[in-house]
Each structure stands twice: as C-alpha cells, then as structure tokens.
Amino acid sequence: MILATTQLASASTLVRLSLHVLAASVWVGGQIVLAGLLPTLRSLGSDAPRKVAQAFGRLSWPAFWLLILTGFWNYVAVHGSTQSSSWNAAFGIKMIMVVAAGVGAFLHTRATTPKARGIFAGVGTLATLVAMVLGVLITG
C-alpha cells in the first residue's frame, strides 16, 4: 500500500506564491523574451527597440515591486529568522541579487552608450536569474 504524505498548499500560501511566481515570470521571462526579439525589433526601425523597451518597463517595474511586496510576505510566512543558517545564507545572497537586478535594470534604462546598456542589461539579467534559482532553492 502506498501512503500519500504530500499535502496541498493552504489558500494563503497559494495566493502568496502564485503572485510571487507570476511577478517573477513577467520580470524574468519578459527580459529573456525581449532580448530574443531584439534582432527583429531592430529590423522594424531604429527607435522600435526603445519604444518596445519602454512599453515593457510599464509591465516589468510593477512586477518587480510586486516581487518585493510578496517577497516580504514570503519571508514573514516562512518565519525566515527561525530558518537554518544555510537557508539564511541563500536568502541573503538572493537579496543581494535582487538589489543587483533592480539597479542593473535601472542603470540599463539610463545608460547613454550601447556598451554600458549591454553591460547593465547583462548584470541585471544574470542577477535576476540567480535570484530566481535561489528562490526555488529556499522554497525547498
């Protein structure tokens, strides 16, 4: 006989994690999709990438703030301060990555040369991906 021990998430966990993952999918997935569409956007005109990036920003920044909001909700819900030292180490690195992701994305929008734009985009996207993986790690 096989005993099922895995339980379904409670309603508040369902809302909390669904919102966090939804925001992460817009913030992370949008950046990857935008990067993939760049060659096509460039072929549509010299200001097409800028216009599309600005439109994306109207979705991605609200998603980023939703990540921060639901992230604090997560921390409180899982009683972060009572978790193991390895959990807190992973969480601490995740917070550094979240800051780097936000700063990288912001500086990317303010950069005046293609080189600086590329560097900040790379730093921001890499930090975002590490933050996402660490999020999965600490969820266990």
Q: Which stretch binds ligand HEM (CB under 6 A): 40-48, 49-57, 63-71, 113-121?
A: 63-71
The number of C-alpha atoms within 13 Å of 19 and in the hemisphere containing its C-beta is: 17
Query: Binder to ligand HEM among 19, 21, 41, 123 (CB under 6 A)?
Result: 21
Site for ligand HEM in 85-114 (CB under 6 A): 98, 101
Query: Binder to ligand HEM among 74, 105, 120, 121 (CB under 6 A)?
Result: 74
> Count H helices, E strands: the chain?
5, 0
Contacts with 34 (C-beta within 8 Å, 6 or more apart), sequence order: 52, 53, 56
Residues within the interface to ligand HEM (CB under 6 A): 17, 20-21, 24, 27-28, 67-68, 71-72, 74-75, 78, 80, 98, 101, 128, 131-132, 135-136, 138-139
